[in-house]
Amino acid sequence: MTTPVPQNRVAQWIEYRLPIFSWTNKHLVDYPAPRNLNYWWNFGSLAGFMLVLQIVTGVVLAMHYTPHADHAFDSVEHIMRDVEWGWLMRYLHANGASMFFAVVYIHLFRGLYYGSYKSPREILWWMGVIILLLMMASAFMGYVLPWGQMSFWAATVITNMTSAIPWIGETVVTWLWGGFSVDHPTLVRFYALHYLLPFVLFGVVFIHLWALHHRKSNNPLGIDIKSPKDTIPFHPYYTVKDMFGLGVMMFILLIFTFYMPNVLGEVINYEKANPLQTPAHIVPEWYFLPFYAILRAIPDKLGGVVAMVASIAILFILPWLDSSRVRSARFRPIYKWAFWIFVVDCIALGWVGANTPEGNFIWIGQVTTGYYFAHFLIVLPLIAKFERPTPLPESIHQAVLKGGGGGEDAPAAAAEAAPADAAAAEKT
C-alpha cells in the first residue's frame, strides 16, 4: 500500500502546499470500508463512472451540435454521418443515459433494502434524491435536443404540466417556453441547461461522497462499524471489485451501443419535429415510465402533477416514515416482503406507463399509484411499529467469520443482539 507521506521530493513539495496525496490516500486507498459489502454496493461507483462518461461524450457532441430549431435535427445527422466516430459518441451518450438511470435505480433500491437512508445518513440520502432530480431534468432536456417528433412533443407535454399551477400556470409556461409554444427559444435554453446541470450534479455527488466518507458506508448487515476488524482498506479490495463491476457494466452498455443502439428509443424521434402533428403514441423514455403512470393515474390536471412530484419528494421524508431502528431488511421479516411488493409495484407502474391509458390499464394504474404512496405513508410506519426484527449479529467481523456476511440472507444468529444500532436509534 502506498504510504501516506510521499517519498519523492517533488511530491513532497506539492503535498506540503496541497495535501492531494494524503487526501487521495485517505479516501481512495486506506478508506476503511465494511468488509462485507456485496455486489449491490458496486452501483455507486458505477453511477459515478456513468456521470463522467456522459460528460465526456456530451462535451464532444456539443462541439458538433447546433442548438437551433432549424438545424438541430440536421446537426445530429451530421454527427451520425460525417463526424469521425460521431455515431459512437451519440449512441454511447444516448444509451449511456439509460445505463446511468438503470445503475442509479439499482443503487436507490439497494439503499431502500438495506436501510441506507437511516440515521446518520439522512443528508447523504437527500443528496442522492437531489442527484436523481437533477438527472431527470438533464435527461429530459437532453432528449429534447435532437428535435425529433418525440423530443418536441415530450417537451410540450412536460412543460405544459406547469400550466396546472393555479393562477400563474399559464404565465410560467410562457416563461419556460420563451414564446407561445415549444420553439427555438425553448431549445436553446434547454441546451444551455443540459450542458450546465451535469456539472451541478457533479458538485452534489461530491457532497454525497463527503457525507458518505464522514459517516462511512452502510453494509448488508446494517450494523455500525465497531472496530478496525470490521473493515478492510478500500484499495485493493474494493478498487478491484469496482473495476470488475465496471467491466461488466461496460460490456452491457457496449452491447446496446454497438448492436441495438435504438431499441430503447422511439422510432418516431427519427422524424423531424412537426409542431402541427402529434405522434399517435407519446411515450417517455423507459426510466420515466413509472412517474408517467402516476401522472396519468390521477384524473385531474393539477392532481396528477402534484402526485408525480410527490412521488419523488416523498423520498426526502422517508427516513422519518420508516422509524424502525434496524436498517437492513435481512433482519426485518415483514419489511422484506414490503420491499419486494414495492419493487413489483414500481415495475407495474412502468408497465402501465408504457401502455395507452385504456381499459384495464386505468384501474391498474390507479391501484399501483395508490399502493406506491401507501407503501411510504401507511405500510412503512405500521411495519416499523409492529415488526419484531430478528436478532442482529454482534459485529460485522463476527458475522463474516461465521459465513453469513457477504452473500445470502441468513446471518449467523449472533447472540442476543446488543443495542447494535443504538446510534441509529438516537436520531429518531
Can you give the binding site for other proteins, defined by CB under 8 A? 1-2, 35, 56, 60, 63-64, 74, 77-78, 80-89, 91, 232, 235-237, 239-241, 243-244, 247-248, 250-251, 254-255, 257-259, 261-263, 267-268, 270-271, 280-281, 283, 286, 289, 340, 343-344, 347, 350-351, 354-355, 408-409
Catalytic site residue from 64, 213, 301, 336: 213
- Based on CB atoms, which residue is closest to other proteins, 214 or 281? 281
Nearer to other proteins, 81 or 388 (CB): 81
* Catalytic residue flag (residue 213): yes
Helices (H) and strands (E) in the chain, counts: 18, 2
Active-site hit among 118, 208, 235, 241: 241
Closest by CA to 234, choosing from 11, 10, 24, is: 24
Q: Which residues contact 13 (CB under 8 A, 6 or more apart)?
A: none
Give the shortest CB-309-to-other proteins separation in angstroms. Answer: 23
Question: What nine digits make up the cell of 357?
Answer: 391509458
What the block records as the C-alpha cell of 115 is 436501510
Query: Rounded to whole angstroms, how far apart are CA atoms 239 and 25?
Result: 13
Smallest separation, CB 390 to other proteins (Å)? 17
Cis-peptide into 236, omega within 30 deg: yes
Residue 409 bears catalytic tag: no
- Selection from 195, 231, 218, 51 nearest residue 119 by Cα: 218
Q: Using CA atoms, how far apart are residues 10 and 18, in angstroms rounded to an integer?
A: 12
User: How far is 232 from 34, CA to CA, in rounded Å?
Assistant: 6
Distance of closest approach, residue 402 Cβ to other proteins, in angstroms: 12
In the bound state with other proteins, the residue whose beta carbon lies nearer, of 126 and 287, is 287
Closest distance to other proteins from the beta carbon of 4 (Å): 14
Quote the least distance from Cβ 165 to other proteins, whole Å. 31
Q: Which of 45, 217, 311, 395 is catalytic?
A: 217
Active site residue 217: yes
Nearer to other proteins, 358 or 416 (CB): 358
CB of 74 to other proteins, least distance (A): 8
Concatenated DSSP letters of 181-195: SS-HHHHHHHHHHHH
Cβ nearer to other proteins, comparing 254 with 321 = 254
- Going by their DSSP bridges, the two strands 231-233 and 32-34 should be labelled as antiparallel
For 114-196, list the strands marked E by DSSP: none
Nearer to other proteins, 77 or 163 (CB): 77
* Annotation marks residue 358 as catalytic: no
Active site annotation includes 30: no
Catalytic residue among 122, 224, 230, 242: 242
Catalytic residue among 285, 322, 345, 394: 285
Taking the least distance from each CB to other proteins, the nearer of 61 and 211 is 61
Q: How far apart are CA 96 and CA 53, in angstroms?
A: 8
**Alpha helices for 220-379 (secondary structure H):** 234-259, 289-297, 301-313, 318-321, 333-354, 360-374
Task: Give min distance, CB of 183 to other proteins, in A.
Answer: 18
Listing DSSP states for 202-251 in one string gives HHHHHHHHHHHHHH----TT-PPP-SGGGEEEHHHHHHHHHHHHHHHHHH
Contact 309, 187 (CB under 8 A): no
Question: Hey, which residues are catalytic here?
Answer: 213, 217, 241-242, 285
